[in-house]
């Protein structure tokens, strides 16, 4: 019987830098070197990158000026209410929401290049 050895990770298709129409496809919580995080997975909807998935992670702490609030404002297309900032919100309910994402290629600490979601913004209807 053969023993199959596989690489640690397979090559990832990179998304070219740019702004894309996307849909929030999944929200997960995980722990990494930065502590407890929430991951927002977006599926790209534009031709040429249709179906590609990109990720934005933030801390789980919601404050008016934090990265999590910026992410939620971009997905919702509005400011967070005082009630949402005080009591929190169910981010799983946002799955399926369409928005725009700005993707830029970045390097992680080990030097690997990946497609990083720099910014999330509401879609603007074309006139």
Digit-coded pLDDT (tens) for 36-59? 999 999 999 999 999 999 999 999
- On whether residue 44 sits in a domain, the answer given is yes
Do residues 73 and 80 touch, judged by C-beta distance below 8 A? Answer: yes
- Kindly report the pTM of this predicted structure: 0.85
Share of the chain above pLDDT 90, in %: 76
Residues in the chain where the model's pLDDT stays below 70: 1-2, 4-12, 125-127
Tell whether the torsion through CA atoms of 61, 86, 76 and 79 is positive or negative. Answer: negative
Q: Which residue has the tokens 């919601």?
A: 62
- On whether residue 112 sits in a domain, the answer given is yes
- Alpha carbon distances (Å) from 117 to 29, 91, 101: 17, 18, 6
Cα distance between residue 84 and residue 106, in whole Å: 32
Domains in the chain, number: 1
Q: Any idea what the CATH number is for the domain that residue 92 is in?
A: 2.40.50
Residue numbers of the domain that contains 62: 18-121
- On whether residue 9 sits in a domain, the answer given is no
- On whether residue 75 sits in a domain, the answer given is yes
- On whether residue 89 sits in a domain, the answer given is yes
């Amino acid at each position: 019987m053969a023993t199959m050895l596989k690489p640690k990770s397979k090559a990832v298709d990179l998304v070219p830098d740019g702004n894309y129409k996307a849909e929030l496809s999944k929200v997960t919580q995980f722990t990494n070197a930065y502590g407890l995080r929430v991951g927002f997975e977006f599926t790209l909807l534009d031709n040429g990158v249709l179906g590609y998935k990109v990720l934005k992670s933030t801390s789980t702490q919601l404050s008016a000026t934090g990265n999590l609030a910026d992410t939620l404002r971009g997905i919702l297309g509005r400011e967070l209410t005082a009630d949402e900032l005080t009591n929190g919100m169910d981010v799983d309910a946002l799955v399926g929401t369409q928005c725009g994402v700005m993707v830029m290629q970045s390097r992680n600490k080990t030097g690997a290049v990946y497609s990083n979601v720099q910014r999330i913004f509401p879609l603007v209807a074309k006139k």
